[in-house]
Amino acid sequence: MKPIFKGQSSRTRLSLIVVLSFSLMATDLLWSPMAYYRGYLTLAVTPLRWLMDVPTRMLTGLDQSLSDRDQLQLDNEKLRSDLLLMARKLQRLDSLTTENAHLRELLNSSERLDQRVLLAELIGVSADPFSNQLVINKGLNDQVYLGQPVLDENGVMGQVVEVGPYTSRVLLITDVQHAIPVQDNRSGFRSLLIGRGKGRELLLNHVPDTADIQAGDLLISSSLGSRFPFGYPVATVTEVIHDPGQAFATVRAEPAARLDTSRHLLLVFTPQQQPVPPVEEAVVPKPTASQAPSSTTPDPEAEVPAVSEEDS
């Protein structure tokens, strides 16, 4: 490395620089107009200061970028967790809203019925794939009886086939063992609607080929058999097939009730099965001594039936 100050001339220059520096400092301290010129000197050295500060600012920016990235990752993870929690709450809110709407529909349905109804909840489904049955949380303690109609907010679901103290078993209208008398709401045609045991398919039994029935007709309960009250929606006709070689037409229908999704049900008490409130046994006061008969001798003034001469 070459030395800056070497030789006699270099020492002379160093001395001049030192003297000049002290002279400038003294002038800046003692001469007031120097403040005006110092502003211009500051402006001249500003680019140098900016260039000297570039490495510092680059290091500071890099460090801040790395710290911001870490913080952003932490904030992102926290926001993801909060989003999952809020999504779970939102899903629960959607289910509660749907359940509330179903309960309101059930309430409106019960207000339209003349019979007494009882709200029940689904607690089980039959595991047998060939049996369409449900288990509800009402039983003998709630005055549930065999054959009681069961419906949801849309229509008839089935009837009670087994009653326990606290639960009951409901046979759905789609079961192969179930049949319900129905009537076409448009034409008045009456027939028997039977279950097929597969999906939501129902079949009208023995429908004459000339019967006035068509796809889209609403089938309601006809009250024949005194099991289901009149006027409840049961199914909608989906297909009518006329075979020229057959005396009966093939009529398929779909249940009006939501058999697979309804959770809250209505048990309907028909007029023949309205629960009778218990009657308190009347207390008969015991007769007093003055009211008790003194003897068992018949009253001589009591009327005696007349006996005719022919009888004697």
Report pLDDT digits (tens) over 178-229: 999 999 999 999 999 999 988 889 999 889 988 999 999 999 998 888 888 8
Q: Does 193 fall in a domain? A: yes
Report, as an integer, the average pLDDT of 73-92.
73
pTM confidence score: 0.56
pLDDT of 70 reads 76
Alpha-carbon distance of 249 to 191, in angstroms, equals 12
User: Per-residue pLDDT for 294 more than 70?
Assistant: no
CATH of residue 215 = 2.40.10.340
Instruction: Show which of 83, 112, 141 is a domain's final residue.
Output: 112
Residues 137 and 243 grouped into a single domain:
yes
> In which domain, by residue range, is 153 found?
116-273
Asked whether residue 194 falls in the same domain as residue 212, the answer is yes
Look at 228 and 51; give whichever has higher pLDDT: 228
Give the pLDDT score at 146. 93
Task: Report if residue 285 sits inside a domain.
Answer: no
* pLDDT band per the 50, 70, 90 thresholds, residue 135: very high
In a domain? residue 301: no
